[in-house]
Structure 1
Amino acid sequence: MTIIFHKVHGSGNTFYLHEEIPNMFYNWPLTAQKMCNPSNENGADGLLIISQSTKADAKMRVYNADGSEASMCGNGLRCVARFVLTKLGVTVATIETMKAVLSVQQVEPIFKSIDTYKVEISPVSFKLTSLPMKHKNHKQIVNEVMPEFSLDIHFTAVSVPNPHLIGIVPIHYIEDTQFQEQLATSFNIDNEHFPDGVNVSFVHPVDESSIFVRTFERGVGFTNACGTAMTASALVSATINLVPYGEITVYNPGGFVKCEIEKNENHVHLSLIGNATFFATYSGELTEDGEFIINSVILHEHEINEYKELELQAQKNVNDGWSSNEYL
């Protein structure tokens, strides 16, 4: 049977996206491993599967490049939102994820005519049990230096619902990724702190209302961007007064997004706003052992080129911000 996969990305976080045919069953963890391998059309960070839902307009499942399943994916959710909203001919819908039913909507372009979507990120918890994380007798960790991790990085642990360890770092940790990779790798093998692993992000301010985030994703490694990590990083930055609450621009190696952090008494509402770019459509056959045999490819060159312009503008904005002594 001929099936379709779209190659998509949100902020340079790349995925294969497929709408599942009812009553057809495939080994999606194995397929994710095969399709996301760099030897296959440069690979991808994950696989997004859209299916029918009894709770929402559609259901999303997310498989990392290693075949593990993630609770949520903010960048992937925007791409799923674009597919579902276009199919239904609407601008607002709901998508069922592993932990919650989330609202999605099409909004004004974030840059030129780029397709842009706003998605809800939920649930949110600072409880260490929600990640889960074990650290002495702590019930939560907010803006703390933990000497066994680092002597000069303030960490916060939060789930949104994917588990995140957010470090506010001096700029040399952004310029040289070696320490972040070593630390994150140690937390994603057998360790005493994170039994299920954790996403590790390093954050440095760009200006008074924007930050730069680099993320080492659980089950993937370094990616151009991670939607839940960017949202978690914006939340943490606002919580510790690095930036004000409201709309925060979050730059990353793959471009930028906007995060809305709304706080009302003890309740926090998070939204992620950014591109949903479809840059290729593949038609072919999927074998039982997860191999996708491509018959035809359509490249969406206008979307590819327009996003390259966004990337260049994002790099310029970051460099301009860091040229100020205040943010070095």
Structure 2
Amino acid sequence: MNSIEILKTHGSKNDIFIIESPYDRFPEEVDLVQLVRGICDRNGPLGGDGIYFVDHVDGVPEATFFNPDGSRADLCGNGMRCLGRYVLERRGETSTSIMSGRHRFVVRTAPETAGGVRQVSVDLPLVSFAAPRPIVAGSALWVDRSIPVLDSHLTFTALAVPNSHLVAIVDHYDEQELVRVGGIVASDVDQFPIGANVSFVYPVGPDEIFVRTYERGVGLTPSCGSAVVASSAVYSRLAADTQQVSEITVRNAGGMAKVTLRSENGELMPTLEGNATFVYRADVAIDDILDAERESFVQGESFPAEIAAYADLENENRAWLKEKGIYV
């Protein structure tokens, strides 16, 4: 294997690469961590927020997600929408299942926006407010409580979707504070033993919120799909007037998404719906990726109409946020 074909996509401006190949079948001389880092390197010719490797597309697809630093994650919600579209189109279907880790994700084609943006919905695993392993050291359940090492004025809720998250509902958005808090969570393994994505949630309506996330292994990104779901679940539980909100519009720096929360036997079943935009396909020589001095790749196909349609939607979203006093 001298080269690989990659598909660059984005969900809410979360740039995700899709590679149709098992992650564990590259030649022995290929350092997979370095390969992932090289592809995702924002200073290189490609650059992105992670990679989904997928196998058995014609059968039961099996996917594995890698963060830009080469670490593995249980899920990338925005990326799963894009992977879902890829698999659905390859199979000629409107609904299918994808296995990733221990979880089965149901993906479906969703209606396009009025501006022609392609969308996909994905059913995610149960929202768990009692994670299998404590997110905050010493406590299996952490709901709406302060964490002095982070901020004495904010309260946080820990939950898994299945990635681990810490969510705070705020009365204004302070990006520097989010970066500070996210950095502490990423570095303090004694207090946060399994790590967590950190999100600030700013309510902008009874069923609409703004979410910004500091992702572990990534940093501040335009959007994080599982964090969008986690934030919606926390808002529904804590901040929504007198009853839980079942359908929430989520705005972030990368765009918009919709989260539906269904209660079954006392548990929350989430569905995430949003764009799944194709950017380009490219053939990339593995040696070029692993050699920092070489930056060549062959772009085989681009998708200018999709890019333009999403740019219009993104501009509308940013104008709306600006009207609300939110600058990203």
TM-score, normalised to structure 2's length? 0.89
CA contact (8 A) 2:39 2:46 kept: no
1:284 equivalent to 2:284? Answer: yes
- Name 1:226's counterpart in structure 2: 224
C-alpha separation between the residues in 2 aligned to 1:113 and 1:270? Answer: 25
- Name 1:63's counterpart in structure 2: 66
Q: More deviation in 27-36 or 246-255? A: 27-36
- Name 1:167's counterpart in structure 2: 168
1:16: Cα distance to partner? 1.5
- Give me the identity figure in percent: 30
C-alpha separation between the residues in 1 aligned to 2:151 and 2:114? Answer: 37
1:268 equivalent to 2:278? Answer: no
C-alpha separation between the residues in 2 aligned to 1:131 and 1:11? Answer: 29
Q: Could you tell me which of 81, 85, 100 is aligned with 2:84?
A: 81
- Name 2:237's counterpart in structure 1: 239
C-alpha separation between the residues in 1 aligned to 2:113 and 2:240? Answer: 23
Aligned pairs for 1:144-183 (under 5 A) are 144-171=145-172, 174=173, 176-183=174-181
- Name 1:17's counterpart in structure 2: 18
- Name 1:106's counterpart in structure 2: 109
Aligned pairs for 1:21-36 (under 5 A) are 24-25=25-26, 27-36=31-40
CA contact (8 A) 1:245 1:263 kept: no
1:7: Cα distance to partner? 1.1
Deviations 1:23-68 (A, max 9, x none): 94154322111111111235111111111289x7211111111000
- Name 1:202's counterpart in structure 2: 200
Tell me: CA distance 1:269–1:117, structure 2 relative to 1, closer, same or farther (3 Å).
same
CA contact (8 A) 1:131 1:162 kept: no
Unaligned regions of 5+ residues in structure 2, if any? none
Q: Could you tell me which of 211, 214, 218 is aligned with 2:209?
A: 211
Q: More deviation in 79-88 or 27-36? A: 27-36
Aligned pairs for 1:300-311 (under 5 A) are 300-311=303-314
Runs of 4 or more above 6 Å deviation: none
Q: Could you tell me which of 131, 134, 137 is aligned with 2:137?
A: 134
1:72 equivalent to 2:75? Answer: yes
CA contact (8 A) 2:278 2:306 kept: yes
CA contact (8 A) 1:60 1:77 kept: no
Deviations 1:260-301 (A, max 9, x none): 011234121100000011111112322397458412343311
Tell me: CA distance 1:293–1:322, structure 2 relative to 1, closer, same or farther (3 Å).
closer
- Name 1:326's counterpart in structure 2: none
Deviations 1:81-106 (A, max 9, x none): 01100000000000001131111100
Unaligned regions of 5+ residues in structure 1, if any? 324-328
CA contact (8 A) 1:133 1:194 kept: yes
- What one-letter code is carried by the residue in structure 1 that aligns with 2:133? S
